[in-house]
Structure 1
Amino acid sequence: MISSLCNRIFEEAILDYHVNDNIDQPINNTYPLQTLEHLLYLKCWIDTAQWHMEDVVRNPDIDPVEGLQWKRRIDKSNQERTDVVEYIDSYFLEEFKDSTPLPDARVNTESPAWVVDRLSILALKIFHMQEETQRTGASDEHVQATTLKLNILLSQRTDLSQSLDELVTDIKSGHKYMKVYKQMKMYNDPTLNPVLYNAK
């Protein structure tokens, strides 16, 4: 099932990242280019690095100039993340190009790749919440609270994984069809962001 592949590769990417736990470390994506596995690993690596950028920028004592630099870096990372989601959707579009929608086929609220995106973020939440349940010096109350949250996240992953598998099965069988809307982000586009085009 597609969700099993996603969850396995996401866990691999997160563990690989945390060997050195350095935002600037180079990615070591050993999966062949043009494969879904390569895209999944890349997607989760970007998410993991960005997770830690978000931690840094939330330091209340951060220098404002440094904080702005991190904000711009996060924006760049978020654009890369969105690009990879679209590449994953392109993979699925090619995968299901021969599937014929049934007359009563319905479109889903989100494409398969955006469900994959949510699974990747969920994998990060699970990893870091697990860390919190084992944090040295944490109070019993903290451990109990984070254990409860961890169990909820694990349940969410089970449900979301099942939903992804069902969506892919429904698209393949023609009960649902893919309709992908390319990103319409405006803030990075110098022709659409008024601050950017008025600066000229």
Structure 2
Amino acid sequence: MQFNPSQLAAKDVYKLLTGAVVPRPIAWVSTISEEGELNLAPYSFFTVASRQPPLLCISIGEGTDEREGTVKDTLVNIRSQKEFVINVVSSELGNQMQKTAENSASHVNEFEEAQLTPIPSDLVKPMRVKEAPIQMECRLEKIIPLGTDHLVIGQMIRYHIQDQYYLGNYKVNLEKLSALGRYAGNYSVSTEFFTLPK
């Protein structure tokens, strides 16, 4: 079986890609609007873009369903404020993360809707998710339009980790973290680790 992307609907190519590029970590992105309204939304197109300087990137698509063709609040806020926070989602926070994925009006505070605790960041205006095991404060480096999406690249300028997830020597306890990942339309947690011969 083979497919020619140029002959398929975008949603079908998307399904093929998200079924092959797995697992994808989730960036739980918190931003703030010009008016001071808090926003929190998950994105599974997320990775490290550079080690030095430490750059993270997320891809933000158009609004979906009743907001189709619109720009997502996350992108609007990042363009405006040039700052954001990427919070890491542990499996225990899955239901609350899913709540923040709902299409909501711009004035809706997703922290309140999902019963999460916003706490101040050290260097940026957007709030962090207190319950998230790891939070990374980012300053916007660049936004690159790619087709219908936008690749947002930010420099990580402050890294927060809760003590129980830190092993020392700059290592994260991955088994305890139990980070949520995306497999096509489903979510999963990988806590089985093994090494391969060098």
Greater helix share, 1 or 2? 1
Greater strand share, 1 or 2? 2
What TM-score results when the alignment is normalised by the length of structure 2? Answer: 0.28
What TM-score results when the alignment is normalised by the length of structure 1? Answer: 0.28
- Bigger Rg, structure 1 or 2: 1
